[in-house]
Amino acid sequence: MKLRQRTRKFLGVFIILALLFIYPAIASIIYERFLNNAPTWALLTYFAIAGFAWAIPAGAVIKWMAKPNEGED
């Protein structure tokens, strides 16, 4: 099924909103389960990586949303 760009953008908004709720929850669970008593340098490294890593799936969704309609340039 081919989706038009307008439909992809509509769905993409909800996907990104879901990502903004689910990703921090998963990052917090990882912290609580595995890094609760970790040294400061490990926590700084984890939160720096986790803080920027959400941009990878969000970027993929944005790229999918911005794809032109089939037959258009």
Q: Which domain holds residue 41?
A: 5-66
Total domains, the chain: 1
Q: For residue 72, what pLDDT is reported?
A: 72
User: Which segments of the chain have a pLDDT < 70?
Assistant: 73
In a domain, 73, yes or no: no
Chain-centroid distance of CA 28 in Å reads 15
Q: For residue 2, what pLDDT is reported?
A: 87
In a domain, 72, yes or no: no
In a domain, 12, yes or no: yes
* Average pLDDT, rounded, for the chain: 93
In a domain, 59, yes or no: yes
